[in-house]
Amino acid sequence: MQKVTDNIFLLVLFAMAGTFILAAAFTFFFLKYQRRAASQKEAMQKAELEYGEQLLQATLQSQEEERKRIGRDLHDDVGASLSNLKMTMAQTVAASDDTPEYKPLIDKIITTVRNISHTLLPPGLELFGLEYSLNELVDTFNAPGIIQLHFKNETGAALDELNEQTALALYRVMQELLNNTVKHAGAKNITLNCFKEDNQIIVLYNDDGVGIAAEAIKKAGMGMQNIQARLKMIQAKHEITTAPGSGFSIKIILPKMKTVKVYE
């Protein structure tokens, strides 16, 4: 009888040990599966994010090519045709002492086409560099006199030594920032300063507008997304400082490797 009791006790003990081992094994494999699932989910999210960034970058590059094409067409075809039309009509009425009524209208159309062409394809960027193009942008922006843009370059010739991709990306970022300020900030003044810090080029943009909450930055619209995508394309870091009633500021830090002279 004692032997039977001992056997039953051993069976129960083995059963308990087996159950414990089975539960431990189940827990181990369950946790391992969870970790693997979490790792796979994280990898998928990262891949989706990278794909989204690559898609946005490809879209921006495609837009840039289309802008160049349209800009050239406007300048070379439409602008030239309007100029020829103006000269032809001027010759037709050369004998008259009166100023033709159409002349101011054609002049306005030519100016509008030229401004649109320059916005789509900055003509001075490749020829004269980024500083020249930013000064042109400042003059155009300040012309209406509603908001004043103040630009200062303390980098010497470094801006004009940036490679074409970096220079164009910065120019587009400035356009987008100015557009955002005009649409949303209610600012009176904007400052754009370029200087060197720790042997890196820093671009600092400030406006004295209404500012925005930090949460709104995280829910950025396409304008801010384009800015962030363009900066990522040139491997530039950025820091945004803003709050309701405190204006908006963005500090762009260019990588050292990007200061490679390509303009002649």
User: By C-alpha distance, which of 160, 158, 98, 161 is closest to 133?
Assistant: 160
Q: What share of the chain in percent tops pLDDT 70?
A: 54
Name the pLDDT band for 154 (thresholds 50, 70, 90). very high
- Residue 261: pLDDT band by 50, 70, 90 thresholds? very low
Contact 216, 208 (CB under 8 A): no
Between residues 251 and 128, the one the model is more confident about: 251
- What mean pLDDT comes out for the span 62-82? 61
Residue 191: Cβ within 10 Å count: 15
CATH of domain 124-264: 3.30.565.10
Burial degree of 127 (CB within 10 A; 0-12, 13-18, 19+): exposed
What mean pLDDT do residues 54-63 have? Answer: 64
| Mean pLDDT to the nearest integer, 98-105 | 63
- Range from 16-30, 89-103, 146-160, 231-245 carrying the lowest mean pLDDT: 89-103
Between 32 and 234, whose confidence is greater? 234
Residue 64 has pLDDT above 90, yes or no: no
pLDDT at 150: 95
Mean pLDDT of all residues in 50-56? 61
According to DSSP, the β-strands at 189-197 and 200-207 are: antiparallel
Does position 201 have pLDDT exceeding 90, yes or no? yes
Asked if residue 110 has pLDDT above 70, the reply is no
The pLDDT value given to residue 143: 83
pTM of the entire predicted model: 0.63
**Where do the CATH 3.30.565.10 domains begin and end in the chain?**
124-264
| pLDDT score of 133 more than 80 | yes
Contact yes or no for 249/205 (Cβ under 8 A): yes
In the chain, the largest separation of any two C-alpha atoms, in whole Å, equals 138
| Rounded distance between C-alpha atoms, residue 16 and residue 11, angstroms | 8
Mean pLDDT of 204-228: 80
DSSP 34-77: HHHHHHHHHHHHHHHHHHHHHHHHHHHHHHHHHHHHHHHHIIII
Burial bucket for residue 242 (CB in 10 Å: 0-12, 13-18, 19+) = buried
Judged against a pLDDT cut of 50, whether residue 258 lies above it is answered with no
Q: Lowest-pLDDT range, 51-60, 119-128, 197-206, 209-218?
A: 51-60
Residues 221, 214: Cα–Cα separation, whole Å = 13
Confidence of residue 252 (pLDDT cuts 50, 70, 90): very high
Average per-residue pLDDT in the chain?
Answer: 75
> What's 100's DSSP letter?
P
| Dihedrals phi, psi of 204, to nearest 5 degrees | -115, 120
